[in-house]
Amino acid sequence: VEFYAPWCPACKSFQEVWQEFADWASISNTVNVAQVNILNAPELNGRFLVFSLPSIFHVRDGVYRYYDMSRNLEELQDFVVGQHHDKFQPIPAYMAPDSFMMAVVGHFFALAAKVRNFQNLLTNTYGLPYWFAYI
Cβ proximity of 67 and 34 under 8 Å: no
At residue 88, the pLDDT reads 86
Catalytic residue, candidates 2, 3, 5, 11: 11
Mean per-residue pLDDT for 113-123?
92
Is 122 assigned a catalytic role?
A: no
Cβ proximity of 61 and 124 under 8 Å: no
Q: Are strands 55-60 and 63-67 parallel, antiparallel or unpaired?
A: antiparallel
Task: Give the global pTM.
Answer: 0.86
Is 8 assigned a catalytic role?
A: yes
Instruction: With a cut of 90, say whether residue 30 has pLDDT above it.
Output: no
Q: Which helix (H) or strand (E) holds 25?
A: helix 9-28
Sheet holding 63-67, edge to edge: 35-37, 2-4, 55-60, 63-67
Mean per-residue pLDDT for 100-116?
95
Phi, psi of 129 (to 5 degrees): -65, 155
